[in-house]
Amino acid sequence: MTANPLLTDWSTPFELPPFMDLSPDHFEPAFDQAMTDARAEIDTIAGQDAPPTFENTVAALEKSGKSLTRVASTFYNLTGAHTNPDLQAIERALAPKLAKHSSDTLLNAALHDRIARLWDTRASLDLDEEQARVLERYHTMFQRAGAGLDETGKARMADISQRLATLGTQFSQNILKDEADYQLVLETDEDKAGLPGFLLDAAAGAAHERGQDGKHVITLSRSLIEPFLQFSENRALREEAFTTWASRGENGGDTDNRAIISETLSLRAEKARLLGFDTFAHFKLDDSMAKTPEAVRDLLTSVWAPGVEKARAEETDLADYARRRGDNITIEPWDWRHYAEKVRIEKHDLNEAELKPYLQLDKIIDAAFDTAHRLFGISFKELSGLPVYHPDVRVFEVMGADGEHVGLFLGDYFARPSKRSGAWMSAFRTQQRVDADQKPIIVNVMNFAKAPDGQPALLTFEDARTLFHEFGHGLHGLLSDVTYPMIAGTRVARDFVELPSQLYEHWLSQPEVLSRFAVHYQTGEPMPKALLDKVLAAENFNQGFATVEYTASALVDLELHLQTDLSDFDPGVFERQALEKIGMPGAIIMRHRVPHFSHVFTGDGYSAGYYSYMWSEVMDADAFGAFEESGDVFDPATADRLRQHIYSAGGRPDPAETYKAFRGRAPTIDALLEKRGLTAA
């Protein structure tokens, strides 16, 4: 019998997964064996006669389950970035099994007793900072999983975890299917009216991928749908495309997510009650920087009012432009981006079509790498011939200033039907030194439109910002410098994890970065200073819209998880009522409507936590001020502090304290309001 490649030693370069040898039927037996091995290791740790010590209990747990971690990281990176029906069926079957495995560990009475005894005697254990933090995280993890409940409570917690895992998987797969199934085929000149060449090229590429050579197809990938809404002069098609985009997950049939949402919220509320919390929001936020729903609501409402005021003024400008052009319409959500583009041209003489030729994907990647080199001394070398899961994936070796290997960075930049929408950072392997010096393998996944063969992929400025954002997450994983996996890389408080990514976005807008890397794809000429000045002058354009669509999503997420009576819950009715209550402008919708709110319902990472982006934005806007105050956005001393306290520290320090160590004080909201242009003129 041929050995399962997932369970053998990997002799691939840098121990990358042996993608060329993998098939879907390898995964289930690999998971079964890896879970069996991990269970044996955990039972040995829990059942040992020796009194608990940090080494024989906590450190031993950190060393356990290596095979399961390796198999799972490979599998779930594939199901997000390059899935297929076989992998999706395995994913559905695995969800409750893995949840049970986790519950069996976290509800193990003997193991919990060992952790509790260590926690109770922690003052006498002579632990260093990392060890103390890791012990605290284990104690908190066991408590929040229900380890302190009676047997009936533990059994119910296990059932809830398994069911939530199944629901989250189905939610995600439903959205992917809705997105993959839709295509708007542009047949006539009227269908294509107003569309610039770069968008038609991208639509031709999307058509080719779907077997419709010679045609033009708009999909629900943001890199296609948003520019279509910007430029299309065909209002009826804008409405059709927008309505389909906005209604993902609520179209009836097998992919409708509304029943999943109701059951998920009910189970989460029950879980919170079992653990002694009033609501799931109270439970979730108790282990965050924010701590309470009240603190989150205070932050969000502090930007909501000025955001709505600015958005209404923007809407007036759009309506005025439409009227002057002779368009007798009320501004609807499918009109906003279209008229905003025209008003931006009028107000700032800045046209996205004029800007895009200067934003080549390869050059923006170079800009992100060069920024990291100037800040942190690391360099990137592209490698070829390494095993990857799709031909589009690029691999870079990351090296330190001393020439030593830091890790691998994988870039997967283009949209395809096998990839879920959005953009994210993940890891095939995290940094740690618990029993070997393990270097990270980090991946950034995007959904940019692919250019026709022989042409460079061109980005919008928002695309370029997304690339810098995800690369900031990537650096958080690559520069991690801790001993224990529990606190490595991005394993930090949810409302702190967006700080490294959002902070990194600031460098994209620096003139010395754009002047070097924003060069015309045909002439090689740098972006003219006049155009660069217009880009920077227009940075706050449409920020009322951006603030409202995001903040509405965060407020609705919070209110969803404050519910206690979920009998006969209707997600659509709740969404409408919640938006009416806060005075949502009718011409804007939530950035993520509830039926396709993947951040919140594909797992509970951002549930009651979508506010995290703004919580982190308070810090990132304030943090970049440290560089501005130094007079050099690449100031070496400030960059050293940034690396030490933010990018390399992982979850070792308390997030509030490590921010203060970098900045010298706590952040203030003033910088965020100024950044978004929400302060009084």
DSSP secondary structure letters along 57-77: IIIHHHHS-HHHHHHHHHHHH
pLDDT of residue 681: 47
Residue 86 pLDDT > 70: yes
Tokens of 354: 């004029």
pLDDT > 90 fraction of the chain, expressed in percent and rounded: 94
pLDDT of residue 680: 54
CB 74 within 8 A of CB 428: yes
CA–CA dist 221, 550 (Å, integer): 18
Alpha helices for 216-360 (secondary structure H): 222-231, 235-246, 258-274, 280-285, 293-324, 333-348, 352-355
Residue 485 pLDDT > 80: yes
Altogether, the residues listed in the chain come to a count of 681
Q: Kindly indicate the confidence band of residue 222, based on its pLDDT and cuts at 50, 70 and 90.
A: confident
470 as an active site residue: the answer is yes
Residue 55 pLDDT > 90: yes
The CA-CA-CA angle for residues 477, 479, 484, to 5°, reads 70
pLDDT tens track for 108-153: 999 999 999 999 999 999 999 999 999 999 999 999 999 999 999 9
CB 221 within 8 A of CB 421: yes
Look at 675 and 82; give whichever has higher pLDDT.
Answer: 82
Residue 352 pLDDT > 90: no
Residue 234 pLDDT > 50: yes
Chain mean pLDDT for the chain: 96
Catalytic residue selected from 62, 470, 498, 505? 470
DSSP-based three-state secondary structure for 383: strand
Mean pLDDT along residues 503-524: 96
Domains of the chain, CATH where assigned: 5-106+108-145 (1.20.1050.40), 182-247 (no CATH), 357-537 (1.10.1370.40)
pLDDT of residue 435: 85
Residue 1 pLDDT > 70: no
Question: Could you tell me whether strands 441-448 and 405-414 are parallel, antiparallel, or unpaired per DSSP bridges?
Answer: parallel
Tokens of 326: 């002779």
pLDDT tens track for 433-446: 998 899 999 999 99
pLDDT of residue 390: 98
Residue 453 pLDDT > 90: no
CB 654 within 8 A of CB 646: no
Mean pLDDT along residues 502-522: 96
Mean pLDDT along residues 568-582: 97
Reference 297, options 638, 621, 610, 636; nearest CA is: 610
Tokens of 493: 């408080």
Reference 7, options 40, 43, 38; nearest CA is: 38
